[in-house]
Amino acid sequence: MAPKNKNAAAAAAAAAARTASPAPAVASSSSFSSPSSATAATTATTSTPAQQVSAVTSVPSVSSSLSNKPSSSSSSSSSSSSKAAANQSWDKVIQNLTKHYLDTTPQRTKLIDAFQVFLVTVGALQFLYCILAGNYPFNAFLSGFSATVGQFVLTASLRIQTTESNKKEFPAVSPERAFADYVVCSLILHFFCVNFIN
C-alpha cells in the first residue's frame, strides 16, 4: 500500500502542476506528499507496478515532466503522454475518492464499511473456491455465497439509509427504524440460507 500511495501522490502532483486543476485537489495532495517530491523521483525511476501499464515509454516521460515542469511535458510526446495522462487522472480520481471518504464518513459508517469489506472478501473467497475446487455441494455454495451477497446489500442499504445526506430520500425511515429493518431482513435472509444449506 505504501509505495502505491506515494506513487499516486507523485503522479497527482505532476498532473496538478501540468493541468490547471481545482485548488482543493492540490491542497489534498500536499497533505500526503510533503516528503514525496524527493522520494517520488526515486520510486518513479525504480518503476513500481502501478505505472507499468504503458510500459517503458511512460517512465521517461513522467520523470521528464517532473524535472522539466509544465510547459515541456504537454508538448513532449503525443501518444504516450495521453496514456500517461489517463493514468494520472485515474490516480487522482482514486486519491480524491479516498480523501473524500476519509473526510466525510462518520466513524459508525466506517464500521459498516469495514463489515462490507469483510463480506466482499468472504464472498470472493467462496467464489474462488467454487471456481478452483468445483461447486459440488451447490446448495451449500449458493447459500453461503448468497448469504454474503444478501448481507452485503442489506448492509449497503443500512448505510444508505443512515447517511445524513440521504435523509430527504427517506422521510419515513429514521436510523432506528433502518436498523430494525436491517435486523429483521437479516434474520429472514439467514433463515432461508440455513434452510437451503442442506
Partner 1 sequence: MSADPLDTLATIGKGKSTRSALRVVILALIAAASIASRLFSVIRFESIIHEFDPWFNFRATKYLVANGFYSFWDWFDDRTWHPLGRVTGGTLYPGLMVTSGAIWHALRALTIPVDIRNVCVLLAPAFSGLTAIAAYLLTNEMTTSNSAGLLAALFMGIAPGYISRSVAGSYDNEAIAIFLLVFTFFLWIKALKQGSMLWGALCALFYGYMVASWGGYAFITCLLPLHSFVLICMGRYSTRLYVAYTTWYALGTLASMQIPFVGFLPVKTSEHMPALGIFGFLQLLAFLDYVRSAIPSRQFQSFLWIFAGGIFTIGLAGLVVATSAGIIAPWSGRFYSLWDTGYAKIHIPIIASVSEHQPTAWPAFFFDLNMLVFLFPVGVYLCFQELADEHVFIIVYAVFGSYFAGVMVRLMLTLTPVVCVAAAIAISTLLDTYLDTKTPPEDQQSAEGSEKKSAKPGLKSASKPVVGVYSIWSKGLMVGSFSIYLLIFVLHCTWVTSNAYSSPSVVLASRMPDGSQHIIDDYREAYQWLRQNTKEDAKIMSWWDYGYQIGGMADRPTLVDNNTWNNTHIATVGKAMSSREEVSYPIMRQHEVDYVLVVFGGLLGYSGDDINKFLWMVRIAEGIWPDEVNERSFFTPRGEYRVDGEATETMKNSLMYKMSYYNFNNLFPPGQAVDRMRQARLPEVGPTLSTMEEAFTSENWIIRIYKVKDLDNLGRDHISAAAFDRGQKKRKATKKRGPRVLRVE
Applying the rule CB under 8 A, the residues between 26 and 85 that interact with partner 1 are: none
For partner 1, the binding residue among 60, 109, 142, 175 (CB under 8 A) is 142
Residue closer to partner 1, measured from CB, 118 or 170: 170
Q: Which of 11, 18, 66, 150 binds partner 1 (CB under 8 A)?
A: 150
Residues 8-37 that bind partner 1 (CB under 8 A): 22
**Distances in Å between the alpha carbon of 196 and those of 32, 147, 173, 187, 192?**
49, 11, 31, 14, 6
How far does CA 37 lie from the centroid of its chain?
A: 24
Residues 67 and 96: their CA atoms lie apart, in Å, by 24
CB closer to partner 1 out of 31 and 195: 195
Q: Please give the C-alpha separations between residue 17 and each of 30, 123, 140, in angstroms, as whole numbers.
A: 12, 41, 54
The residues, any chain, with a CB within 8 Å of residue 35's CB and separated by 6 or more, are none
Closer of 4 and 90 to partner 1 (Cβ): 90
Q: If we measure between CA atoms, which residue out of 72, 75, 45 comes closest to residue 60?
A: 45
CA distance 89 to 85: 6
**Minimum separation from the CB atom of position 152 to partner 1 (A):** 8
Work out whether 178 is an interface residue with partner 1 (CB under 8 A): yes
Single out the residue of 170, 175, 176, 198 in contact with partner 1 (rule: CB under 8 A).
170
Sole window of 30-38, 64-72, 88-96, 124-132 interacting with partner 1 (rule: CB under 8 A): 88-96
192 binds partner 1 (CB under 8 A): yes
Q: Are 61 and 47 in contact (CB under 8 A)?
A: no
Cα-Cα end-to-end distance for the chain: 41
Choose which of 67, 70, 110, 169 interacts with partner 1 (CB under 8 A): 169
Residue at grid coordinates 459498516: 112
Residue ranges binding partner 1 (CB under 8 A): 22, 86, 89-90, 92-93, 96-97, 100-101, 104, 138, 142-143, 146, 149-150, 153-154, 156-158, 160-161, 165-166, 169-170, 172-173, 177-178, 180-182, 184-185, 188-189, 192-193, 195-196
